[in-house]
């Protein structure tokens, strides 16, 4: 049912597919790196499993394989980037690099992006800041699947936030999470296994709590982090809204329920108030606040102290954000990336279409 593939094998395949789509070699390599970093880090829903989806968007002329990305407005610490309908996998690293370059001169850099597409795993982009001794921030809006508190209408995407913070001897702190109780990827895993979802992940079309992992297919909705009002869903709703506004209203992308859908067969919303999907990136130079050495020594202390916080029982330990993904990457670089049969089938179809062998 599952088969293991070496990272290199999947890299060559994916890179060839992007080149066959018409991406130039640099963009193809970037897109491949971003996409496969999700598989390496164990965020399987955002990796090669989405390749078919990206190709369908390209076939539907919603993705431009050769975008001319450009800065359309800027100040010393900010920029707006027009992604020219390119793959988010290519547009996002371009825009994050602009944020990093701004930070070199102004201390921080903040870039809002319009006219883009899904950008893969948010953590990849945030982590681009780390080698520069900067804190990196990445967020994006996405197809509307989430109902605000007290509503039954899908108004927001799962709108993830990633924050990467450098440390010294310790590995970096890398938070990367959807602003919903559970990500759509986790819901898809339950659907595949025909299992029920825990209460608090989704609601049915009338707004009742539901354990139906397929609730979205019958006009249900995902729930903001917090699940219900009593447990703080208004905070998850506020967070998702902030991501939407920073990513799309600041840049001139399409926001809220008008965000362009990822599945190419879903018609585009009518009266879109902006262009494409939006992202938001930030880079903060550590030494714009204190010396990088001081900061890193204290981050090491922070991380060590939290990792040694008393666990609730002997089977558990306190994790630092980024720990599970880093351990997964070590494991998968060594032993390969498992893919389920249905994804392998999809990749074979892609391979035939583009004349590339898996």
Binders of a second copy in range 259-298 (CB under 8 A): 273-274, 284-286, 288-290, 294-295, 298
Alpha helices (H) in 167-232, listed in sequence order: 184-192
Are the CB atoms for 186 and 216 separated by under 8 Å?
A: no
Which of 56, 62, 235, 326 contacts a second copy by CB under 8 A? 235
Q: In whole angstroms, how close is the CB of 64 to a second copy at the nearest point? A: 22
Using rule CB under 8 A, residue 34 touches a second copy: no
Which of 1, 131, 206, 217 contacts a second copy by CB under 8 A? 206
Binding mask 163-202 for a second copy (x = CB under 8 A): x-x-------x-x-xxxxxx---------------x-xx-
Question: Total number of residues binding a second copy (CB under 8 A)?
Answer: 84
Q: Which stretch binds a second copy (CB under 8 A): 6-14, 41-49, 124-132, 232-240?
A: 232-240
Give one DSSP letter per residue of 222-275, joined into a string: E-BTTSSGGGTHHHHHHHHHHHHIIIIITTT---GGGSPPSSTTSPPPTT-SSS
> Please, what is the angle between helix 25-40 and helix 323-335, to 10°?
110
Task: Identify which of residues 19 and 46 has a Cβ nearer to a second copy in the complex.
Answer: 46
Site for a second copy in 315-344 (CB under 8 A): 316-319, 321
Q: Which stretch binds a second copy (CB under 8 A): 63-71, 88-96, 220-228, 344-352?
A: 220-228
Please give, one letter per residue, the 3-state secondary structure of 82-120: ECCCECHHHHHHHHHHHHHHHHHHHCEEEEEEEEECCCC
| Spatial separation of the C-alpha atoms in residues 205 and 210, rounded to whole Å | 10
Tokens of 65: 């394989």
Task: Identify which of residues 38 and 89 has a Cβ nearer to a second copy in the complex.
Answer: 38
Site for a second copy in 70-109 (CB under 8 A): 73, 75-78, 80, 105-108
């Amino acid at each position: 049912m599952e088969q293991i593939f070496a990272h290199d094998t999947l890299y060559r395949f994916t890179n060839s597919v992007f080149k066959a789509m018409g991406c130039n070699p640099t963009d193809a390599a970037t897109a491949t790196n971003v996409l496969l970093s999700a598989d390496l880090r164990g965020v399987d829903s955002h990796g090669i499993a989405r390749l078919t989806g990206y190709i369908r968007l390209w076939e539907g002329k919603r993705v431009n394989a050769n975008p001319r990305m450009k800065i359309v407005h800027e100040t010393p610490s900010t920029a707006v980037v027009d992604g020219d309908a390119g793959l988010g996998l290519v547009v996002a690293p371009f825009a994050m690099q602009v944020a990093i370059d701004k930070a070199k001169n102004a201390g921080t850099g903040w870039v809002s992006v319009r006219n883009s597409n899904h950008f893969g795993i948010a953590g990849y982009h945030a982590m681009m800041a780390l080698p520069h001794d900067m804190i990196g921030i990445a967020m994006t809006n996405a197809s509307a699947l989430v109902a605000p508190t007290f509503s039954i209408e899908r108004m927001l995407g799962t709108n993830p936030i990633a924050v990467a913070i450098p440390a010294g001897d310790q590995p970096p702190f890398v938070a990367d999470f959807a602003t919903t109780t559970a990500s759509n990827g986790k819901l898809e895993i339950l659907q595949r296994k025909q299992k029920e979802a825990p209460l608090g992940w989704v609601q049915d079309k009338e707004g009742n709590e539901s354990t139906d992992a397929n609730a979205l297919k019958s006009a249900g909705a995902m729930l903001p982090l917090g699940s219900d009002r009593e447990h703080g869903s208004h905070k998850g709703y506020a967070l998702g809204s902030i991501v939407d506004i920073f990513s799309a209203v600041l840049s001139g992308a399409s926001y809220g329920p008008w965000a362009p859908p990822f599945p190419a067969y879903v018609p585009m919303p009518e009266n879109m108030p902006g262009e494409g999907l939006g992202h938001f990136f930030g880079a903060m130079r550590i030494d714009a606040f204190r010396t990088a050495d001081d900061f890193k020594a204290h981050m090491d202390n922070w991380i060590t102290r939290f990792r040694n916080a008393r666990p609730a029982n002997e089977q558990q330990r306190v994790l630092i954000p980024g720990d599970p993904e880093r351990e997964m990457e070590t494991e998968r670089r060594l032993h390969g990336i498992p893919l389920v049969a249905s994804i392998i089938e999809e990749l074979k179809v892609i391979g035939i279409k583009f004349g590339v062998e898996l």
